[in-house]
Amino acid sequence: MVVELKLRKIGNSVGVVLPKEALARLNADEGDVLFLTDAADGSFRLTAGDPSFADKMAIAEKISRRYRNALRELAK
């Protein structure tokens, strides 16, 4: 999917208007936060989810597995 985006002046800033097809694919809507990150090939990636969140969740799952018994006792 290739979408041509046009930069527009919005007040003292410049913004990008995303067409509804791009918003649907991102599963995003007005007011949502999007993340622009560097890709390995030098390009950019636009995502609706925080890419570092998955890393943090993986660490949390590893900790919860490691200390499963202690966490179960603390929950009592």
Domain-by-domain residue ranges, the chain?
Answer: 7-75
Length of the chain measured in residues: 76
Q: What is the pLDDT of residues 20-69, one digit of tens each?
A: 999 999 989 988 889 888 888 999 888 887 777 778 888 888 999 999 99
* Confidence bin at 11 (pLDDT 50/70/90): very high
**Which residue intervals of 7-50 are DSSP H helices?**
20-26
In whole angstroms, what is the distance from residue 24 CA to residue 2 CA? 14
- What would the two tokens of residue 59 be? 């660490």
pLDDT (mean) for 6-10: 93
pTM: 0.56
Residue 7: strand, helix, or coil = strand
